[in-house]
Amino acid sequence: MTAQLLHPRLEFAFEIRVDVEDGWHVGRSEQERLWFTPIVGGTVQGPRLNGVIIAGGGDWSVERGSTTQLDARYLLRADDGSVIDIHNRGYYRADREVERRIAAGEAVPEEQYYFRTAPVFQTDAPPHRWLAENQFIGLARDEGGQVCIRCFVLL
C-alpha cells in the first residue's frame, strides 16, 4: 500500500524590498567571479510582517557561466522594534537581452528570468519566532536599484 504523499502549499507572508548600491568585483578565477553588493536599506510589508531593512548587510554572489549563486545577509527591524537576522541564498539566471532590459530600468516580467531564494530567519523575539521555525521560498525580481522578494511560508 502506497501512502498519500503531501504536496507542498505556499502562503504569502510578506515582501522584502532591499535597496542596493553598485557592487564590487572581488575576484576568483576565469570560471567564477565573486561580487559584493552592499545592502543599504529597504522595507518589509505584508500580512504577517512589517518593518525596515537596516543598512549594513550585503550579498556575496558568485557568477558561474550564466547562473549567479546568491548569498545575502542582512538585518530587519520589525515594527515592534525586534531585530531579525536574514540569511537569503538563491540563484539568478537571465539571458543577455533580459539583462540589458533590466539594466535599462525596464520592468521585466518575472517569468522571463529565474530569480529564486530560500530565506532563513533567526530571532528570539516571541512574536516573530514563527519565522525561525518555518521554511520559506522567495520569488525575486529586480526593480532598478531594489531587489524585491515575495516571501512564502511552506506549509
Q: Is residue 3 situated within a structural domain? A: no
Give the count of domains, the chain: 1
| pLDDT, the chain, mean | 94
With 90 as the cut, is the pLDDT of residue 30 above it? no
Other CB atoms closer than 10 Å to residue 81's CB: what's the count?
A: 8
Q: Is residue 1 situated within a structural domain? A: no
Q: Is residue 5 situated within a structural domain? A: no
pTM score of the predicted model: 0.90
Q: 61-106: per-residue pLDDT in tens?
A: 999 988 999 999 999 999 999 999 999 999 999 998 998 888 888 8
With 80 as the cut, is the pLDDT of residue 2 above it? no
Q: Is residue 2 situated within a structural domain? A: no
Contact indicator for 39, 45 with CB cutoff of 8 Å:
no
Q: How far is CA 18 from CA 35, 123, 125, in A?
A: 17, 19, 22
Specify the pairing of strand 83-93 against strand 24-28.
unpaired
Q: Is residue 122 situated within a structural domain? A: yes
Q: What residue numbers bound the domain in which 27 lies?
A: 10-154
Contact indicator for 70, 90 with CB cutoff of 8 Å:
yes
**E strand or H helix that includes residue 131:** none
Q: 11-28: per-residue pLDDT in tens?
A: 999 999 999 999 999 987
CATH number at residue 74: 2.40.160.20
